[in-house]
């Protein structure tokens, strides 16, 4: 019989050298802002609760690659026991995986940044671009790989983002603590000021990451209300197409795009 999620998690914890659940939880908490508390974690280990996919997602990211894959496989087995037995062999989850294969996570979940984290991300251009680089990375990056982009003060940016648990270091390589972050709404004046600064940085984004310019256009012309509606509908379809990249295996996402749209409309005399 396949091991439960709780049993798998407990085995992984002990294999990593944590004899108590408390010490393991504290180690995880020291690396990221967890989406679950200690009481919830204990219920997972004890088989008293079915963890949410968001919790499994974060645990998988924080664990070593092979262990994260094992946990995700156990989770999927509990949800779809018959199907998973057909899809993978009993030992497939235990097979070592290369770090280069990408992040061991379930796609589609976003962690909202706190105001303190937003403040750190927007502290300098280095902070913002380092945050973008690590959240886009499909595998941990070494310091040498990061330095190749020409950051001015990389050490400070690395430390600041680590202090607010947005990145973690393992074996000399750095990665984001969650597969995808989302910025909160501009609900305060301080966040609004930071977002204005990020808008400025965004204009330098393509040049900083040395991306090739493939299309450019600028229009200032009169169109009908019907054409305006059609244009907005096409833009929404375009945005949905870009978002759909999150629904496929990240190993296939070999291209990075830098895409900015600012569309304004209104009456002009004449």
The per-residue pLDDT for range 247-267, each reduced to its tens digit, is: 666 677 888 889 888 899 998
Q: Are residues 124 and 201 in the same domain?
A: yes
92 and 29 in a common domain:
yes
Residues 9 and 83 in one domain: yes
What is the rounded distance in angstroms from the CA atom of residue 17 to the CA atom of residue 264? 57
Final residue before a domain boundary, out of 205, 232, 261? 205
Question: Does residue 177 lie within any of the structural domains?
Answer: yes
**How does pLDDT run along the chain (270 residues), one tens digit per residue?**
457 899 999 999 999 999 899 999 999 988 888 889 999 999 999 999 999 988 998 898 888 888 988 999 899 888 887 666 665 555 544 444 433 334 444 444 678 899 999 999 999 999 999 999 999 998 899 999 999 999 999 999 999 999 999 998 888 899 998 878 889 999 899 999 999 999 999 999 999 999 999 988 888 899 999 999 999 999 999 988 888 876 666 677 888 889 888 899 998 887
Report pLDDT digits (tens) over 98-137: 333 344 444 446 788 999 999 999 999 999 999 999 999 9
Q: How far is CA 79 from CA 4, 82, 91, 251, in A?
A: 11, 9, 18, 25
Residue 250 domain flag: no
pLDDT at 85: 62
For the chain, the domain total comes to: 2
Residues 201 and 132: beta-carbon distance below 8 Å: no
Residues 13 and 95 in one domain: yes
Give domain status of residue 240, yes or no. no
Assigned domain for 263 exists = no
Give dist(CA 240, CA 246) in Å, integer: 10
> Cα–Cα distance between 213 and 215 in angstroms, integer?
6
- Which pLDDT score is estimated for 79? 84
**Statement to judge: residues 92 and 151 lie in one domain:** no
Residue 77 to residues 41, 139, 223: CA-CA distances in angstroms?
Answer: 19, 25, 55
Domain closes at, from 153, 179, 205: 205
pTM: 0.69
Last residue of a domain, one of 171, 205, 239: 205
pLDDT of res. 89: 54
Q: Are 12 and 67 in contact (CB under 8 A)?
A: yes
State the CATH number of the domain containing residue 125: 1.10.10
- DSSP β-ladder status, 173-176 and 181-182: unpaired
**Range(s) of the domain holding residue 162:** 111-205
């Amino acid at each position: 019989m396949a091991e439960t999620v709780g049993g798998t998690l407990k085995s992984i914890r002990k294999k990593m050298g944590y004899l108590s659940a408390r010490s393991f939880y504290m180690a995880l908490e020291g690396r990221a802002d967890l989406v679950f508390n200690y009481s919830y974690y204990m219920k997972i280990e004890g088989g008293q609760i079915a963890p949410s996919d968001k919790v499994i997602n974060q645990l998988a990211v924080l664990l070593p690659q092979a262990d994260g894959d094992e946990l995700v496989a156990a989770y999927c087995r509990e949800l779809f026991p018959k199907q998973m037995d057909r899809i993978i062999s009993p030992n497939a989850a235990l097979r070592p995986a290369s770090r280069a294969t990408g992040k061991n996570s379930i796609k589609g979940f976003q962690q909202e940044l706190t105001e303190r984290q937003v403040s750190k991300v927007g502290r300098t251009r280095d902070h913002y671009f380092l945050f973008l680089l690590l959240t886009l990375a499909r595998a941990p990056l070494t310091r040498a790989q990061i330095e190749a982009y020409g950051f001015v003060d990389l050490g400070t940016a690395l430390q600041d983002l680590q202090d607010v648990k947005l990145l973690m270091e393992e074996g000399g390589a750095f990665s984001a603590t969650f597969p995808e972050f989302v910025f909160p709404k501009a609900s305060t004046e301080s966040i609004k000021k930071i977002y204005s600064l990020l808008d400025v940085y965004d204009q330098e984004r393509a040049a900083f990451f040395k991306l090739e310019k493939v299309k450019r256009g600028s229009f200032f012309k009169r169109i009908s209300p019907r054409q305006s509606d059609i244009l907005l509908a096409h833009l929404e379809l375009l945005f949905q197409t870009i978002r759909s990249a999150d629904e496929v295996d990240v190993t296939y996402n070999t291209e990075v795009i830098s895409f900015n749209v600012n569309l304004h409309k209104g009456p002009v005399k004449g």
